[in-house]
Amino acid sequence: ITQGGQSRHKYPDLKGAAVAGAVGGSMSGVATNMLGSISNLQPAAAAPATHSSLSSGTPAAAAVLVYREPVYNWQATKSTVKERFAFLFNNEVLSDVHFLVGKGLGVQRIPAHRFVLAVGSAVFDAMFNGGMATTSTEIELPDVEPAAFLALLKFLYSDEVQIGPETVMTTLYTAKKYAVPALEAHCVEFLKKNLRADNAFMLLTQARLFDEPQLASLCLENIDKNTGDALAAEGFTDIDLDTLVAVLERDTLGVREVRLFGAAVRWAEAEAHRQQLQPTPENKRRVLGKALTLIRFPLMTIEEFAAGPAQSGILTDREVVSLFLHFTVNPKPRVEFIDRPRCCLRGKECSITRFGQVESRWGYSGTSDRIR
């Protein structure tokens, strides 16, 4: 094809070739040659079609055909819409936007398709089509983990859920960030199935953070039934003060009060370290704040109180004297701490026959009462 007396051989793509042919007066010839070349191509290779599949040594005109051939043919191997969209997941084919996910050396460049994202998420729809839509083809997401973002895209492209113990919390955060409630539900269900005493406090903190009341309720119920094991778990000292307060306020904890005090002291030591404070009794009392007033010291025995809290230095002298008086004199003086018993749920049903023997005229059937 000639233009202005000079020979032209290189075209960036099919559209460019057609335009060049039109300028030279030979558009029909170009179109015929191009269509003939396409019709003689073999079926596409199994590997996904990407720009990286092109050889740097291939002439430009041939490179167009090598690149277009698998893009044209991959659809023929996909029999359903789900298969076709699943093929596009994390694939450069037809991608029109890239996300730079993560930060530092962990940043990953992930290709995506605006239409697919907008169909699956109102947040992405607003991002690409709203009144303040971005025109950038690269979007930075420093607050999202690459594995969690890929799990989100996998769900949007194929309805497949790929979550595990290491990624479920970051995936839940990402699903909430981009308003994909169906994926949120899968994450919460996964957490429910894997809820145990040794992770109940950690999951409770996350449930409160992500505003998942149903999951939080299940965590609290698990803590009620397995309070001792939950307090002994490593994750207990990592919870925030609000979560500690929410637990200590409960009337259904199944553990003696002296163990609650010991756990609160362990948490205070960890919190003082997080705040770069010396773990002195004064600093422990300060970081405990309201939580200290929720320890029900009057429910301890005098021996438990004397051996632990009274010698901890966390309580003031006035509080110690007041509690000793509460233990030893009648009528008991008023104290500043709650004296309401905790009614723990053991998760068991006890059968009790109130009467060993009853005369028949009372009409007692002899069946057992049950107490939960």
DSSP assignment string, 34-49: HHHHHHTPPPPPSSPP
d(CA 359, CA 362): 6
Within-domain flag for 20: yes
What's the rounded Cα separation, in Å, for the pair 51 and 95? 11
**DSSP-derived 3-state class of residue 155:** helix
| Tokens of residue 307, six digits | 């051996």
Decide which of 77, 92, 112 is a domain's last residue.
Answer: 77
Give the Cα separation of 216 and 252 in Å (integer).
Answer: 15
Task: Tell me how long the chain is.
Answer: 372
In this structure, the answer to whether residues 65 and 111 fall within a common structural domain is: no
CB proximity list for 297: less than 8 A, separation 6 or greater = 257, 261, 305, 309, 323, 335, 337
Q: State how far the Cα of 338 lies from the Cα of 341, in Å rounded to an integer.
A: 9
Residue 304 burial (10 A CB sphere; 0-12, 13-18, 19+)? middle
pLDDT at site 346: 52
What is residue 333's predicted lDDT score, i.e. its pLDDT?
86
Q: Which residue has the tokens 């509690």?
A: 323
Return the bridge partners of 355, or none: none
* Amino acid identity, position 88: L
Q: Are residues 175 and 87 in the same domain?
A: yes
What residues make up the domain containing 52? Answer: 2-77
The conformational region for residue 342 under phi > 0 = left, psi -120 to 50 = alpha, else beta, is beta
What's the confidence (pLDDT) of residue 358? 58
Residue 28, judged by CB atoms within 10 A of its CB (0-12, 13-18, 19+), counts as exposed
Instruction: Tokens 């191997």: give the residue.
Output: 77
For tokens 């004199």, what's the residue? Answer: 329
Q: Cβ atoms within 10 A of the Cβ of 168, count?
A: 20
pLDDT at 216: 94
The total domain count for the chain is: 2
Would you put residue 220 in left (φ > 0), alpha (ψ -120 to 50) or beta? alpha
Contact 192, 218 (CB under 8 A): yes
For residue 331, the model assigns a pLDDT of: 87
The C-alpha R_g of the chain, in whole angstroms, comes to 34
pLDDT at 47: 38
Is 262 within 8 Å of 307 (Cβ atoms)? no
pLDDT lower than 50: segments of the chain: 1-69
Per-residue pLDDT at 301: 94
Evaluate whether residue 161 is within a structural domain. yes
Please classify residue 210 by burial: count the beta carbons closer than 10 Å to its beta carbon, then call 0-12 exposed, 13-18 middle and 19+ buried.
middle
Which stretches does DSSP call E strand in 113-230? Answer: 138-141
For residue 92, being part of any structural domain is answered with yes
Domain membership of residue 220 (yes or no) is: no
Same domain, 177 and 113: yes
Asked if residue 97 and residue 73 are part of one domain, the reply reads: no
CB neighbourhood size of 123 (10 A): 16
Instruction: State whether 107 and 70 are in the same domain.
Output: no
3-state per-residue secondary structure call for 224-237: HHCHHHHHHCHHHH
**Contacts with 240 (C-beta within 8 Å, 6 or more apart), sequence order:** 205
Residue 222 tokens, joined: 């698990």
- Residue 126: give its domain's CATH number: 3.30.710.10
Tokens of 77: 């191997």
Q: Which of 182, 202, 232 is the endpoint of a domain?
A: 182
